[in-house]
């Protein structure tokens, strides 16, 4: 009987140690997951703010370049229409020929400006597309990581609660087993005392 209780106690102590180790590991894992989820949330928030700011800057630049292109195209049209009509009306006047040459130089400069605006517009549009693609990819990666960590956190939290409950039960079983062992030891101790005969005093012999 005594040996059985001692064996059961040893087994319970082993299970308690294992449960306590699991609780420590799970607690650390949960803390790590919560910290990582916090980092993902912070990172995504910063990304959202940066993307909004970048898009705002893009919209402003796009509007400026489009207006620049439109203004230059309008100026070129006005010059071409004006000098074109002047040449048709008075082709023999030398001043118009000189003016036409000067206008041709101006139109050439305006066409270069239009080309520059068009290149700048194409660049900001390419940059915006690349930035949006990178943002979308990282946002998707964050969502996947968040979902995985939230699922892991859910199951580890559930496992922790179950292990904590199991530990309480094991400790209760250990205390009960210890009480039974103590009772057995007390019983054996009482029997042992009764079995050892006390020597009779010399006078009683």
Which pLDDT does position 88 carry in this prediction? 45
| Residue 191, token pair as written in the block | 């029997």
Closest CA to 62 of 117, 134, 136, 133: 117
Which pLDDT does position 179 carry in this prediction? 75
Tell me the average pLDDT across 95-118: 78
Span 169-199, pLDDT tens digits: 999 888 787 777 667 677 777 777 667 655 5
Tell me the average pLDDT across 108-136: 96
Tell me the average pLDDT across 59-84: 93
Whole-number average pLDDT of the chain: 86
Which pLDDT does position 175 carry in this prediction? 79
Instruction: Give the predicted TM-score (pTM) of the model.
Output: 0.68
Span 12-64, pLDDT tens digits: 899 999 999 999 999 999 999 999 999 999 999 999 999 999 999 999 999 99
pLDDT of 121 > 80? The answer is yes
DSSP state of 1: -
Which pLDDT does position 201 carry in this prediction? 57
pLDDT of 167 > 90? The answer is yes
Tell me the average pLDDT across 96-101: 53
pLDDT of 106 > 60? The answer is yes
| DSSP states along 70-139 | HHHHHHHHHHHHHHHHHHHH-TT-HHHHHHHHHHHHHHHHHHHHHHHHHHHHHHHHHHHHHHHHHHHHHH
């Amino acid at each position: 009987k005594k040996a059985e209780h001692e064996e059961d106690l040893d087994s319970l102590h082993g299970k308690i140690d294992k449960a306590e180790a699991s609780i420590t590991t799970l607690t650390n894992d949960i803390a790590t997951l919560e910290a990582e989820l916090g980092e993902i949330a912070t990172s995504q928030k910063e990304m959202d703010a940066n993307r909004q700011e970048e898009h705002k800057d893009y919209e402003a630049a796009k509007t400026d370049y489009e207006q620049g292109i439109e203004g230059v195209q309008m100026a070129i049209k006005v010059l071409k229409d004006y000098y074109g009509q002047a040449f048709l009306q008075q082709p023999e006047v030398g001043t118009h020929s000189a003016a036409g040459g000067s206008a041709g130089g101006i139109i050439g400069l305006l066409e270069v400006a239009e080309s520059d605006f068009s290149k700048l517009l194409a660049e900001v549009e390419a940059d915006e597309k690349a930035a949006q693609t990178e943002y979308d990819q990282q946002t998707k990666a964050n969502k996947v990581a968040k979902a995985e960590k939230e699922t892991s956190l859910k199951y580890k939290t559930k496992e922790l609660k179950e292990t904590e409950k199991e530990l309480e039960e094991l400790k209760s079983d250990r205390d009960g087993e210890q009480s039974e062992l103590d009772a057995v030891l007390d019983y054996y101790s009482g029997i042992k005392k009764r079995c050892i005969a006390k020597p009779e005093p010399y006078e009683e012999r």
